[in-house]
Amino acid sequence: MRGAWLGRLWRQSTGRFGLIVVAVILLTALVALVWTPFDPGHVDIDARWLPPGWPHVLGTDGTGRDILSLLMAGARTTVVVAVGAAVVATVIGIVLAALGALTTRWVRESVAVFVDILVAFPVLLIALMIAAVWGGSLWVVIWAVGIGFGVSIARVTRPELRRVLHSDFVLAGRASGLTPTQNLYRHLLPNVASVFIVQLSWGMAVAVLAEAGLSYLGVGAPPTQPSWGRLLAELQQFLTVHPLSVLWPGLAITLTVLGLNLLGDAIREATDPTLARRGGSAGRARAHQPEVVA
């Protein structure tokens, strides 16, 4: 079964594109842990604003730093934030969804109200509020995005869990003596995994945007840690003089976000073959809307 959906994923053009982009970003981040063409923090006044060529493949910035090395080091920051936010969102989403689907009526209603309140706050607003209290750091971005998308995941996953909860195989598991927790991990979560993955991939994409945006504003990654957002902020003032230098960090952010979104949609279609029979984007749009079960 696993090989089957992986094959369906690779056969989709969006799936191939997303897999390749995400794989390149991960590989770049891993390579940057041990090697970059130049020291990302090295300043060389004699090498200011060199055009793309050898040995500076993407050129240099106004302080002589190698742009390719800065992008590779920034990929590490991007991967840390995306993975960290995904872990936080997964834990929060699963806990809230389980409480909102498997507990008593008053607990379910309280969780639903709590989730609706938190969903009203945009992720970036949560990040700015946390940064104002504890200062800017990668942990601010990770927790802000994790909390913001954790409640979004819970809101979407809860009705799906309620729907699956009344399935015959879940009732059979309960009759065989499975505890609610065992039923959750053996039957409920695997049957809502496709919806969960789409939400999680979107959250990781927003984590990349949030980190870049907050670093652009100076409240994201610390100054000693390379970041695509900070690099973009530093280079944009020279847009009219050296436009090509601004292209690279902007392109890295755009491709990463696009790759994560397309990969999530492709995984959703690959793990749920019924979408192929619903027809194109209209089917995907309907499938992303959870069935609300009272």
CATH number where 91 lies = 1.10.3720.10
Residue 180 confidence (pLDDT) above 80: no
What's the mean per-residue pLDDT of the chain? 84
**Confidence grade of residue 3 (pLDDT, cut at 50, 70, 90):** low
Q: Is residue 294 part of a domain?
A: no
**Confidence grade of residue 274 (pLDDT, cut at 50, 70, 90):** low
Q: Which residues pair with 60 in a beta bridge?
A: 66
**How high is the pLDDT of residue 231?**
94
User: pLDDT (tens digit, 9 = 90+) per residue, 70-126?
Assistant: 999 999 999 999 999 999 999 999 899 888 887 888 988 898 898 888 888 887 787
Q: Is residue 198 part of a domain?
A: yes
The span from the CA of 164 to the CA of 161, in Å, is: 5
Q: Is residue 51 part of a domain?
A: yes
Kindly state the percentage of the chain with pLDDT values over 90: 35
**How high is the pLDDT of residue 2?**
52
Q: Is residue 283 part of a domain?
A: yes
- In 3D space, the residue among 213, 239, 256 whose CA is nearest the CA of residue 61 turns out to be 239
Q: What residues have CB less than 8 Å from 196, skipping those under 6 apart?
A: 93, 153, 157, 189
Full residue range of the structural domain in which residue 68 is found? 2-287
User: pLDDT (tens digit, 9 = 90+) per residue, 184-214?
Assistant: 777 788 878 777 888 888 889 988 988 898 8
Q: Is residue 88 part of a domain?
A: yes
Residue 38 confidence (pLDDT) above 50: yes
SS (H, E, C) the chain: CHHHHHHHHHHCHHHHHHHHHHHHHHHHHHHHHHCCCCCCCCCCHHHCCCCCCCCCCCCECCCCCEHHHHHHHHHHHHHHHHHHHHHHHHHHHHHHHHHHHHCCHHHHHHHHHHHHHHHCCCHHHHHHHHHHHHCCCHHHHHHHHHHHHHHHHHHHHHHHHHHHHCCHHHHHHHHCCCCHHHHHHHHHHHHCHHHHHHHHHHHHHHHHHHHHHHHHHCCCCCCCCCCHHHHHHHHHCCCCCCHHHHHHHHHHHHHHHHHHHHHHHHHHHHHCHHHHHCCHHHHHHHHCCCCCCC
**How high is the pLDDT of residue 291?**
39
Q: Is residue 292 part of a domain?
A: no
pTM confidence score: 0.84
Q: Report the number of distinct structural domains present in the chain.
A: 1
The span from the CA of 174 to the CA of 159, in Å, is: 19
**Confidence grade of residue 293 (pLDDT, cut at 50, 70, 90):** very low
